[in-house]
């Protein structure tokens, strides 16, 4: 990591040392917002941003994301979480406090195509992705030079379906050693096993070069061309054991027509893939996503 990026991170952490976030989902009922607001007020916390949503005011599920400023947050954090547990129990909440000064550690997996990786690295260098990219893992060597040029550890681990379990054991060990918070599949063209997915629930962000649920799996651009589509797109989602069917975080599209051949579709698609994945990663970093069943609420 170069000195410029280190300086950016230090400034970010200093500026946000008292900034916290609270994400809640629970059965909808009166009094939730009041209880949470009163709790934060009791700690002299000032609410900076609050977003909420209910699937149905009568018997639905309620979701809220609150970002707040609290003097001396580091010292208060443990006690706040202990005491909030009482409110959470009363309203049957699933909840999570995060601290903005805590930099999340990410691992990026990539194969031969580097456009998504390069976009993430550019956003990171530019200070638009406040994350510690702890390592990059690839089953090809193409990314080594650019990754190591940024002083990011690069691990070349050949992978195929015959040795998948052994490969993933090595990968999981690296994630543990680097204390990884989440994984980004930046066009990593290997199917993950259920064991790997189970070890990282809602912590693996994938980019699929198709506007899911259309053209699930391999060679989507070729199949889209054969179908004569007028729109192509990309989808970023959390990985589950159902191939390309995890909770969708972000999607985007571009219009095409009969003059666009497969290579044209791929070129247009790569541009969409880059931006869609970068937005999904940014929202994950900012704790803007709540997973509910097989959907996401993105605040």
Q: Are residues 245 and 219 in the same domain?
A: yes
CA–CA dist 192, 162 (Å, integer): 13
Inside any domain, residue 3 = no
Number of domains in the chain: 2
Range of the domain at 91: 17-99
The pLDDT of residue 213? 67
Tally: H helices and E strands in the chain? 9, 13
The residue from 28, 132, 181, 244 that is catalytic is 244
In this predicted structure, the answer to whether residue 50 has a pLDDT above a threshold of 70 is yes
Scored b (16 or more CB within 10 A) or e, 160-195 reads: eeeebeebbeebeebbeeeebbbbbbbbbebebeee
95-131 pLDDT, tens digit per residue, is 999 999 999 999 999 999 999 999 999 999 999 999 9
Q: Are residues 150 and 219 in the same domain?
A: yes
Inside any domain, residue 1 = no
Q: Are residues 213 and 287 in the same domain?
A: yes
Told to judge if 252 belongs to the known catalytic residues of this protein, a careful annotator would answer: no
173-224 pLDDT, tens digit per residue, is 999 999 999 999 999 999 999 999 999 999 999 999 877 667 777 788 888 8
C-beta of residue 173 within 8 angstroms of C-beta of residue 143: no
pTM over 0.75: yes
């Amino acid at each position: 990591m170069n000195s410029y990026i280190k300086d950016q991170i230090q400034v970010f952490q200093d500026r946000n040392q008292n900034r916290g976030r609270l994400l809640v989902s629970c059965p909808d009922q009166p009094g939730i917002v009041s209880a949470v607001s009163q709790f934060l007020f009791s700690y002299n916390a000032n609410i900076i941003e609050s977003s909420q949503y209910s699937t149905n005011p009568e018997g639905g599920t309620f979701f809220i994301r609150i970002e707040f400023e609290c003097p001396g947050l580091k010292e208060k954090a443990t006690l706040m979480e202990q005491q909030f547990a009482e409110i959470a129990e009363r309203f049957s909440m699933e909840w999570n406090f995060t601290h903005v000064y805590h930099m999340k550690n990410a691992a990026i997996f990539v194969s031969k195509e580097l456009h998504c990786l390069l976009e993430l690295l550019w956003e990171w260098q530019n200070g638009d992705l406040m994350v510690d990219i702890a390592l990059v893992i690839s089953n090809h060597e193409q990314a080594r030079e650019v990754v190591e040029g940024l002083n990011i550890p690069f691990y070349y681990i050949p992978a195929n379906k015959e040795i998948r379990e052994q490969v993933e054991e090595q990968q999981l060990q690296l994630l543990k050693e680097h204390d990884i918070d989440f994984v980004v599949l930046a066009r990593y063209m290997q199917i993950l096993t259920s064991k790997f997915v189970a070890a990282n629930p809602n912590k693996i962000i994938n980019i699929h070069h198709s506007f899911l649920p259309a053209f699930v799996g391999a060679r989507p651009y070729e199949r889209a061309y054969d179908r004569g589509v007028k729109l192509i797109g990309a989808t970023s989602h959390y990985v589950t054991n159902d191939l390309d069917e995890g909770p969708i975080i972000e999607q985007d599209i571009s219009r095409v027509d009969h003059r666009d051949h497969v290579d044209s579709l791929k070129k247009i698609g790569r541009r969409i893939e880059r931006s869609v994945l970068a937005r999904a990663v940014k929202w994950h970093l900012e704790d803007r996503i709540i997973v509910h069943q097989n959907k996401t609420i993105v605040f």
